[in-house]
Amino acid sequence: MDGKWRAAASGATRDILDPADATVLAVVSEGGAEDADAAIAAARMAFDEGPWPRTPVAERAGLLRTTADLLIRNREKIALLESRDSGKTLEEGRVDVDCVADAFRYFADLVMNESGGRVVDAGSDTVHSVVVHEPVGVCALITPWNYPLLQASWKIAPALAAGNTFVVKPSELTPLSTIDLIDLLAEAGLPPGVANLVTGAGDPVGARMSEHPDVDLVSFTGGLSSGTQVMRAAAPGVKKVALELGGKNPNVVFADACATDEGFDTAVDQALNAAFIHSGQVCSAGARLIIEESVRERFVGELARRAARIRLGRGTEQDVECGPLVSARQLAKTEEYVASALAEGAVLRSGGKRPEPSDVRPAEGYFYEPTVLDQCHRGMRVVREEVFGPVLTVETFRTEDEAVALANDTEYGLAGGVWSADPGRARRVAGRLRHGTVWINDFHPYLPQAEWGGFGKSGIGRELGPAGLAEYREAKHIYQNLAPRPVRWFTG
């Protein structure tokens, strides 16, 4: 904080574990409410009295581009750190670093294009009217454990582009890559106090950040329960709040998508990718396969066969396709959801257990086999609730209307997929889905220039795109009368 690393006020520390073998990867300070207060005070001072909010837009954009260059220069180091910290494969870590650099470059370009203000026609030659955008102030940024660096960048890049200062609290499970990012920002030339980081648990650190009177905006990505607590804590201060709270995402496959061998192979392959990338620990995971009944048996049979062949192991090992779950708690949660589904009548088609240990899969690691559960229905918890593990449920439909009804039968609304060889049907169904992102004949790609966020309980506000920058700015209307004269409204 304030440009310097320091120990927690209490002196407490936390072991950061490698989820592949449960060994200690690093030791970090375990911050508390006092540390959150100090970091917020530094951010407040930097915003009120420091240069960053008043730095010309071109200079702010330049620093973001320099940060992107530094990220790419340190790509292998950061990817390895992300892989060991979160369990994802090394290649996924590399892709994450590339996407983080893209986000910094995108917001650098966007803020340059939107820096001039918007002239408003007042209908008079003697009035100059313009809407300008100013930084919100001090931002509290709370990020999740599944994509630590990526999710941090989606908040930090627009916050800095807009001229804000911030305090970021990464997940207590996976803080290491965000710590590296703060160092890179300093190397790029960011003034002290603009970027502050506190490691520690959601309670007390995140809770204090959410309620603190000197925080102007809270941006949180995580679970629904924690998100509602953030809203509750922020409400008395009437802070701006942005929330991304996950989803229970449908992947709808029509029979016509499988009419050819190539179409069938692609749809099955993409269903695997939708459900099991990063061992299902993805907010947009296509964890609900909704398949037309006429092709269900063939499709699910092949899907289960391929799922059983996914190579599990330490993410840094060559040829490994899925790493471990992030923690013992997440492993136990996944096991409990599968047991519940089987008790409620689901049919296990593949997985459903921990794998046998091997040289690349230590017994102490938090591994779980990719699991396909057939004959599922809305009454099951595993269909309604976000598992955040490698678990795919299968539901069937006969008509287009039934497919749409099933896909929308969720309290979430983050993302979904539609597979059809009929472009008209695909666009029609996509238009009826109540989800923030809908992929047609694809799953998971996102663009930094397109908004990301959800309907319903998937959250409030948007990240990325122009709306992602707008979250971190306040609009101000400046109305200038160039020829003032008396109004004569009052006659006295």
CA 229, CA 224: separation in Å to the nearest integer?
9
β-bridge mates for residue 439, sequence order: 417
Residues facing residue 320 across a β-bridge: none
Q: Is 76 a catalytic residue?
A: no
Q: Are 358 and 313 in contact (CB under 8 A)?
A: yes
The answer to whether 376 touches 393, Cβ cutoff 8 Å, is: yes
Which single residue is written with the structure tokens 């609009």? Answer: 475
* Angstrom distance (rounded) from CA 66 to CA 233: 36
Choose the catalytic residue: 30, 82, 92, 244.
Answer: 244
CA atoms within 13 A on the CB side of 182: 25
Where does residue 475 fall: left (phi above 0), alpha (psi -120 to 50 degrees), or beta otherwise? beta
Q: How far apart are CA 166 and CA 344, in angstroms?
A: 46
> Could you give the residue numbers annotated as active site?
244
